[in-house]
């Protein structure tokens, strides 16, 4: 028998969450952001549910090829553009739209031989200082691109650093709007957090939103808001079973380093999931977990292949009981990935992306 751990990808949740993105920005088109192999879910597994999107945005060229191989003929956007000149050949061949964020990429385009002129998204660095042209350099980059026969349409794009937090997006929206005022072209500004929190503003919705994390069922501004607040559903479940149960006496300890010590008699279950499955090792005692759909807590350190669970809330649990690490549990129970991420001092993004290869994955409706 295989080890009992498995991951489930819920296509109904993916489709639902994508509809939520549309509702939040009704007059905008929606890029389904599927970089990092669809945030760890697998591009092939999410494709059907996301075909209702207006395009796929990602950054690895091989992932773009996979989306074309699946039969997608609509827009595909490379969020970081070309990494070297020959990437542009693939853009021509597969009709990939690509971000242009620096002068080298314009030089490569100018030297590129293509039958088919490209659609490019010119990126402004409106304050995040990661990629893009500064507002004062933006217009001259646009003018250079606009003069190239290799380019047929230029869209305008920027990215927010604080759409999920207290600083907000006002300063970046202002920089972008001012520096692009009389430039033609479609605009795209918003990630999930901006789409959920700020897309009531038309200049923030703009022509295209780029939603990633929300479509996978994680709240971009957790813990301020959770997925229930935003009407999102978990798209990934990680579940396993109890493979051992122990009765502890006061003074007994659990796991490596004996970081948990029982003060009262306690039933402890050993679940077949550890950091080699992608479960974060930084989750200490008290991380939420569901056993037979009942909320329990982990005890002690996460090992490579196992974690200990306090079974006090589920006296009926025993060998073989179902353990939900995140996602959907039995009897309609739910454990948002964001809660586990929070306990590990990280984000839902990182946990999804880190699902280990050894975990078998199935797609369910």
Ligand X SMILES: *Cc1c(COP(=O)(O)O)cnc(C)c1O
Q: Which is nearer to ligand X, 33 or 290 (CB)?
A: 33
Cβ at position 288, least distance to ligand X in Å: 23
| Window 345-364: contact mask with ligand X (x via CB under 6 A) | --------------------
Q: Which is nearer to ligand X, 122 or 248 (CB)?
A: 122
Interatomic CA distance for residues 196 and 191, integer angstroms: 9
Q: Which one of the spans 113-121, 209-217, 240-248, 339-347 is the region binding ligand X (CB under 6 A)?
A: 209-217
Query: Which letter, b or e, does each residue of 310-334 get, where b requires 16 or more Cβ atoms within 10 Å of its Cβ?
Result: bbeebeebeeebbbbbbbbbeeeeb
- Angstrom distances, CA of residue 32 to CA of 26, 46, 197, 209, 283: 15, 10, 18, 9, 30
Cβ at position 79, least distance to ligand X in Å: 5
Please identify which residue in 17, 192, 237, 287 interacts with ligand X, judged by CB under 6 A: 192
Q: Which is nearer to ligand X, 59 or 145 (CB)?
A: 59
Q: Which contacts of 60-68 are long-range, i.e. CB under 8 A and separated by 24 or more positions?
A: 60/35, 61/87, 61/90, 61/96, 63/34, 63/35, 63/37, 64/90, 64/94, 64/96, 65/90, 65/94, 67/34, 67/43, 68/94
Three-state secondary structure readout of 121-169: EEEECCCCCCCCECHHHHHHHHHHHHCCCCEEEEEEEECCCCCCCCCCC
- 219 near ligand X (CB under 6 A): no
- 98 near ligand X (CB under 6 A): no
Interatomic CA distance for residues 176 and 156, integer angstroms: 9
Q: What is the DSSP string of 206-234?
A: -SEEEE-GGGGT--TTTTTS-HHHHT---
Please identify which residue in 8, 14, 24, 79 interacts with ligand X, judged by CB under 6 A: 79
Q: Which is nearer to ligand X, 41 or 210 (CB)?
A: 210
Size of the site for ligand X (CB under 6 A): 12
- 212 near ligand X (CB under 6 A): yes
Q: Which is nearer to ligand X, 225 or 267 (CB)?
A: 225
- 213 near ligand X (CB under 6 A): yes
Catalytic residue (choose from 35, 138, 275, 349): 35
Q: Which one of the spans 88-96, 204-212, 241-249, 300-308 is the region binding ligand X (CB under 6 A)?
A: 204-212
Residue numbers 302-321 binding ligand X by CB under 6 A: none
Please identify which residue in 35, 119, 198, 241 interacts with ligand X, judged by CB under 6 A: 35
Interatomic CA distance for residues 283 and 241, integer angstroms: 19
Is residue 35 part of the annotated active site? The answer reads: yes
Please identify which residue in 24, 33, 76, 235 interacts with ligand X, judged by CB under 6 A: 33
Q: Comparing C-alpha atoms, which of 3, 18, 20, 10 is closest to residue 196?
A: 20
- 222 near ligand X (CB under 6 A): no
Cβ at position 259, least distance to ligand X in Å: 33
Is residue 113 part of the annotated active site? The answer reads: no
CB 364 within 8 A of CB 11: yes
- 197 near ligand X (CB under 6 A): no
Catalytic residue (choose from 39, 113, 123, 256): 256
Q: Comparing C-alpha atoms, which of 354, 359, 322 is closest to residue 341?
A: 354
Neighbouring residues of 47: CB distance < 8 A, sequence distance ≥ 6: 67, 70, 72
Cβ at position 152, least distance to ligand X in Å: 22
Residue numbers 128-187 binding ligand X by CB under 6 A: 159
Cβ at position 38, least distance to ligand X in Å: 11
> For 212-300, where are the E strands, in sequence order?
236-248, 253-254, 260-261, 266-271, 288-291, 294-299
Cβ at position 345, least distance to ligand X in Å: 18
Please identify which residue in 180, 211, 240, 321 interacts with ligand X, judged by CB under 6 A: 211
Task: Enumerate the active-site residues.
Answer: 35, 256
- Site of interaction with ligand X (CB under 6 A): 33, 35, 79, 159, 191-193, 210-213, 220
């Amino acid at each position: 028998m295989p080890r009992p751990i498995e991951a489930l990808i819920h296509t109904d949740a993916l489709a639902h969450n994508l509809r939520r993105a549309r509702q939040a920005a009704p007059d905008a088109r929606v890029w389904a952001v599927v970089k990092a192999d669809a945030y760890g879910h697998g591009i092939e597994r999410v494709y059907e549910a996301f075909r209702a999107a207006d395009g796929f945005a990602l950054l690895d060229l091989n992932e773009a090829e996979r989306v074309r191989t699946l039969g997608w003929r609509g827009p595909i956007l490379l969020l970081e553009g070309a990494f070297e000149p020959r990437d542009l050949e693939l853009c021509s061949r597969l009709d990939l739209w690509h971000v242009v964020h620096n002068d080298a990429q314009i030089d490569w385009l100018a030297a590129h031989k293509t039958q088919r002129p490209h659609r490019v998204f010119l990126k402004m660095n409106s304050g995040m200082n990661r990629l893009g042209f500064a507002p004062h350099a933006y217009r001259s980059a646009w003018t250079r691109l606009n003069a190239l026969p290799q380019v047929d349409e230029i869209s305008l794009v920027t990215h927010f650093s604080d759409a999920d937090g207290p600083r907000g997006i006002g300063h970046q929206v202002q920089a972008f709007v001012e520096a692009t005022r009389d430039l033609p072209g479609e605009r795209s500004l918003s990630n999930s957090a901006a789409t959920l929190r700020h897309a009531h503003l038309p200049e923030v919705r703009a022509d295209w939103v780029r939603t990633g994390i929300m479509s996978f069922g994680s709240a971009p501004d957790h813990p301020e808001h959770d997925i229930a607040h935003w009407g999102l559903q978990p798209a990934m479940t990680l579940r396993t079973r109890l493979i051992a149960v122990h009765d502890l006496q006061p003074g007994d300890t659990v796991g490596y380093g004996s970081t948990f010590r029982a003060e009262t008699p306690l039933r402890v279950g050993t679940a077949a999931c550890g950091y080699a499955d992608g479960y974060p090792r930084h989750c200490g005692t008290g991380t939420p977990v569901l056993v037979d759909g009942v909320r329990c807590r982990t005890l002690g350190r996460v090992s490579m292949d196992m974690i200990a669970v306090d079974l006090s809330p589920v006296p009926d649990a025993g060998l073989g009981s179902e353990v939900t690490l995140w996602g959907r549990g039995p009897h309609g129970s739910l454990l948002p990935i964001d809660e586990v991420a929070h306990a590990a001092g990280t984000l839902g993004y990182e946990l999804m992306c880190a699902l280990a290869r050894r975990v078998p994955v199935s797609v369910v409706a």
